[in-house]
Amino acid sequence: MKKLFLVWTLCISLFGTILQAQDSASSIGLQEYQKSTAFNGYTLFAPFFSKTVYLIDNCGSGVHQWTGNYFPAASVEMLSNGHLMRTSNTAVNGNPNFVFAGGGELIQELDWDSNVVWEFKYSDSLHRMHHDFKRLPNGHVIFPAWELKTREEAIAAGRDSTKLPDGALWSETIVEVDPANDSIVWQWHLWDHLIQDLDSTKANYGVIADHPELLDINITGGQTVTGGANWLHVNTIDYNPMMNQILFSSPFINELFIIDHSTNTAQAAGHAGGNSLLGGDFLYRWGNPQNYDHGTSADQKMFGSHAVKWIPQGLEDAGKIMFFNNGPHLDGPYSSVDIINPPIDNYSLGQYVYIPGVAYGPAAADWSYRADPPTSLFSPILSNGQRLPNGNTLICSGINGRILEIDPEGQTVWEYINPIIHTGAMAQSDTVPVVNGLNANLIFRATRYATDFAGFDGQDLSPQGPLETQDLFIADCTITRRQEFLDEWTAVYPNPASNMIHIEFPEIDRKELRIIDAMGREVLKHRIQSSSTELDVSRLTAGWYFIQVPGYVPQKLLINR
């Protein structure tokens, strides 16, 4: 586990981030829930240092979980048949040829009971799948993978020899596999779509500004200013079924790309063919035009971005692209969630507007969310945004395990802090620990599924209680904000108790008192008739309980036996 933290610490160090532990007061679990405006559904997330994937309801109660044999490699997704698809690693450094955060080995499909019904391994001395995947409408699966290129191969392709500090280069490939027979049915290789203006005696020589459809092999992404083996670190992939196109992004060079998926593998290796007639060349790119000599650093719009996804049909802003813009931005250390609307030139051909010498549009985001103050939302790695059916937006700030939902006015209507860390479930009174510079509760991504999602048909989604222990708020799920309870109790004693407890109130308001166990179950109910009340708790088993009265801060109660 220590090695796993160290791998992610390396990734954090790229951004110079220093993290602080979260406050212990109500620091985990459900933080806010506005029932009338939040989108009703179930939220899926995978704590990065846990082998279990969790599904919670809007009250923060667990309703289901999948437990595998391996840690996740990043992405998880529910399928319409109720199964879970996930990336996995057999070990922390399961492939010693490619050691970096986000690296995976397997894609697995688990049924509702966590049985592995399919898995596909893509990890060897020359390749390693990483980060993300996308299930296509025909059941095929696409995913990005690193592809090892030797120092000699890189130099022959035009890479500057001084920009190979690791002695090799990890290029990127996109692989499509058919789960019916585990065959690779389509591939795209970035190595086929390069350009360089360094050495006319090497391959791929040309004028970079004249070829925005190709990638400059001498862009310095990776771990240092001279670049590193993990040159691009593609961290997201998506598919547009209406246009038959693939979208992916690189946080290291701060750019997103769209390619044609209607090609066959041979066409994908060239510059002609497919619906677009452009083969496997870039149809569109956006975020950092200086990468193709069309601007300066002042024109950069993407900053370490994650979860670059098309907004599905039927939702507000459908067809546009949403992403979590991690930052730090040009004007400060904060994150944003942005939407752009790529200008399409010819829909039937899947071609985008490009004016020679001018950077791909748009000039600015179509929509953007920044917190108030902006620095209150800052996750330099991980994270995502998701447009919901009611027009709200779900946001995962992965570095601190925070998931929130905002309405169209930018108001937070739901918020949750992941309580699962490397040692298991935290107690509500605990502080999220920082280990090797990382909050121990980080998550890669979170996804909200509607209550009528097909994958839930016939499944038991009964609330099973909060994931954290000693939770105070899960039972009735009627809170707005945890810190906004008005009144304190006068006294609850003795505490710990064994037989009788005495409770005093500042006034008589004949409210109903309930005692809730650590799983959120009601074990005792009492109508308050006076400002001084005695309760018999002799039949309660030993353990932590919580006394709840509307309008009062819930109180912990320890029963000893």
Domains of the chain, start order? 2-314+322-347+359-456 (2.120.10.30), 485-559 (2.60.40.10)
Distance set, CA 428 to CA 93, 172, 261, 437 (Å): 33, 43, 48, 22
Neighbours of 23 (CB within 10 A): 9
Terminal CA-CA length for the chain = 37
Indicate the DSSP class of residue 200: T
* Euclidean distance between CA atoms 57 and 60, whole angstroms: 5
What per-residue confidence (pLDDT) applies to 561?
Answer: 78
What per-residue confidence (pLDDT) applies to 464?
Answer: 85
* Euclidean distance between CA atoms 363 and 133, whole angstroms: 29
How many CA atoms are closer than 13 Å to the CA of 67, on its beta-carbon side?
1
How many CA atoms are closer than 13 Å to the CA of 414, on its beta-carbon side?
25
What per-residue confidence (pLDDT) applies to 510?
Answer: 59
What per-residue confidence (pLDDT) applies to 200?
Answer: 98
Neighbours of 473 (CB within 10 A): 24
What per-residue confidence (pLDDT) applies to 6?
Answer: 45
Distance set, CA 556 to CA 42, 92, 384, 490 (Å): 28, 39, 35, 14
Q: Which residue has the tokens 């997201």?
A: 236
The SS3 of residue 190 is helix
* Euclidean distance between CA atoms 115 and 505, whole angstroms: 52
Indicate the DSSP class of residue 299: G
What per-residue confidence (pLDDT) applies to 520?
Answer: 62
Whether 130 and 192 have beta carbons less than 8 Å apart is answered as no
Indicate the DSSP class of residue 370: -
Residue-wise burial string across 503-540, b where 16 or more C-beta atoms lie within 10 A, e elsewhere:
bebeeeeeeebbbbbbbbeeebebebeeeebebebeeb
Neighbours of 454 (CB within 10 A): 12
Whether 422 and 1 have beta carbons less than 8 Å apart is answered as yes
Whether 232 and 172 have beta carbons less than 8 Å apart is answered as yes
- Identity at 69, one-letter amino acid code: N
* Euclidean distance between CA atoms 213 and 308, whole angstroms: 19
Q: Which residue has the tokens 């862009």?
A: 219
Sign of the CA dihedral with 179 first, then 183, 187, and 191 last: positive
- Identity at 551, one-letter amino acid code: G
Beta strands in 126-181 (DSSP E): 127-129, 134-135, 141-150, 168-178
What per-residue confidence (pLDDT) applies to 225?
Answer: 59
DSSP 426-461: PBTTPPPPEETTEETT-EEEEEEEETT-GGGTT---
Sign of the CA dihedral with 425 first, then 427, 432, and 435 last: negative
Regarding pTM above 0.85, the answer is: no
What per-residue confidence (pLDDT) applies to 222?
Answer: 62
What dihedral angle (degrees, nearest 10) is formed by the CA atoms of 527, 531, 532, 535?
A: 20
CA-wise closest residue to 316 among 386, 238, 240: 386
* Euclidean distance between CA atoms 533 and 102, whole angstroms: 56
What per-residue confidence (pLDDT) applies to 271?
Answer: 98
pLDDT in tens, the chain (561 residues): 544 444 444 444 444 433 333 333 346 899 899 999 999 999 999 998 899 999 999 999 999 999 999 888 889 999 999 999 999 988 767 788 898 888 899 999 999 999 999 999 999 999 999 999 999 999 999 999 999 999 999 999 999 999 999 999 999 999 999 999 999 999 999 999 999 999 999 999 999 999 999 999 999 876 555 678 999 999 999 999 999 999 999 999 999 999 999 999 999 999 999 999 999 999 999 999 999 999 999 999 999 999 999 999 999 999 999 999 999 988 889 999 999 999 999 998 999 999 999 999 999 999 999 999 999 999 999 999 999 999 999 999 999 999 999 999 999 999 999 999 989 999 877 788 887 778 899 999 999 999 999 999 999 998 888 998 765 544 456 443 333 433 555 688 898 899 999 988 776 665 778 888 766 677 898 888 888 889 999 999 888 787 877 766 677 788 887
* Euclidean distance between CA atoms 426 and 398, whole angstroms: 17
User: Quick one: tokens of 18?
Assistant: 């220093």
